[in-house]
Amino acid sequence: MAPFPPRHVCMAGILVLASGAVALADTLFNLLKGRFFFNLGFVGIPIGYGLLIGRASSRKWALFFSRLAVVVACVIVTWAALDWLPRGGWVLGRASYGTWAEWLMLAGCVYVAAVLSRSGHQEWFAEEKQDTEWARSIAWGVTLAVMALCLLMNAGMAQMRESFAKARPLHVRVTPYDAVSGKGLNNIGCRHDGLSSVGPAAGTRPGTRLSSVTHSSAEGMSLDFYGMVLEPYQISVGSAGYESQVVTLDGGSPSEIRVPLQPLKDAGAEKKPGTGDGGKE
């Protein structure tokens, strides 16, 4: 029976296996969606399995692909840097330099190339070996687990994209005012389902992502609502001494909604004819 591989060789084999499983899951998901997409990265599965059992040809292929990935990444980053530097500098986190997943994959390629290039590991691959049951178990376990995780993630992302494709952007200013005088109000309130006045909505219905910000000026106060809505969303706007009004927000709402609030009858009775707000002549 073949000896168990060195720890780092085992890790390298698992990484190569995982990359192949990701590529195979990507291909299957696109086929299920009716799109023809063939990701050649699935060859990582037999190569990773070969690394676990000490197959010399698998080591050569893994070295070739990992080094090629590092060289291509260096060329892309260098080209991008030369393109951005004349414009006043560049930032590593820009989308043009790749996503975090691509950087993580590049780090894995560097690790695999470094591990398989060590002389001690080369000697282990030179030894004569035979297939082992543990290597097959690891290969199946890693492949199936990674594929299941990737398929679930792809399904979740696809559902999210479909939801946001149906959603409509919203940015509306709600301005309550006195229906009698036409003047703005300096003390307004709003009741709504889980919205926060300082950050993203919490506890709102699925597909609704709204935030609200209060604005104050010499003309009065107003509320800005912005985010995404899948269906009409109702809020209740009011002020002390006024009847509340329900306002419906959706993707087709105008940029500003002026809401007339009627003074309460009891509040109006407290004022004497010809007097101001404070009841003084």
What DSSP letter does each residue of 187-230 carry, written as one string?
Answer: SEEEE-SS--SSSS--SPPTT-EEEEEEEEETTEEEEEEEEEES
Provide the pLDDT for residue 180: 92
User: Residue 265 and residue 38: Cα distance in Å, rounded?
Assistant: 72
Provide the pLDDT for residue 224: 86
Q: Which amino acid is at 258?
A: R
Provide the pLDDT for residue 14: 92
Q: Name the pLDDT band for 281 (thresholds 50, 70, 90).
A: very low
pLDDT over 90 percentage in the chain? 21
Provide the pLDDT for residue 280: 40
3-class SS of residue 84: helix
Q: Which amino acid is at 229?
A: V
Q: Tell me: pLDDT of 3 over 80.
A: no
Average confidence (pLDDT) over 90-116: 70
User: Residue 141 and residue 269: Cα distance in Å, rounded?
Assistant: 78
Mean pLDDT of the chain: 77
Helices (H), the chain: 7-32, 44-52, 56-84, 100-117, 119-126, 133-166, 265-269
Order across the sheet with 256-261: list the strands.
Answer: 209-217, 220-229, 168-178, 256-261
In DSSP terms, 74 is beta-bridged to none
Cβ contacts of 202 within 8 Å, gap of 6 or more: 194, 196
Q: Where are the domains of the chain?
A: 7-164, 167-266
Average confidence (pLDDT) over 90-111: 66
pLDDT digits (tens, 9 = 90+) for 38-84: 888 889 999 999 888 888 899 999 999 999 988 988 887 777 666 55
∠ CA 203-208-211, rounded to 5°: 75
Provide the pLDDT for residue 85: 53
Q: Which fold has domain 167-266?
A: Immunoglobulin-like (2.60.40)
Q: Tell me: pLDDT of 251 over 80.
A: no
Cβ contacts of 265 within 8 Å, gap of 6 or more: none
User: Residue 207 and residue 160: Cα distance in Å, rounded?
Assistant: 9
Say if residues 257 and 245 touch (Cβ distance below 8 Å).
no
Q: Name the pLDDT band for 97 (thresholds 50, 70, 90).
A: very low
User: Residue 41 and residue 273: Cα distance in Å, rounded?
Assistant: 83
Say if residues 46 and 133 touch (Cβ distance below 8 Å).
no
Provide the pLDDT for residue 279: 39
Q: Tell me: pLDDT of 176 over 70.
A: yes
pLDDT over 70 percentage in the chain? 74
Provide the pLDDT for residue 223: 87
Q: Tell me: pLDDT of 273 over 90.
A: no
DSSP state of 4: P
Structure tokens that stand for 14 in this block: 């698992």
Task: Tell me which of 9-18, 58-67, 206-215, 227-236 is least confident.
Answer: 206-215
Provide the pLDDT for residue 99: 62
Structure tokens that stand for 100 in this block: 């975090």
Average confidence (pLDDT) over 116-136: 78
Provide the pLDDT for residue 91: 43
Structure tokens that stand for 237 in this block: 């706007």
pLDDT digits (tens, 9 = 90+) for 178-201: 999 999 998 888 776 544 333 333
**pTM of the predicted model as reported, rounded to 2 decimal places:** 0.53
Structure tokens that stand for 149 in this block: 């995780």
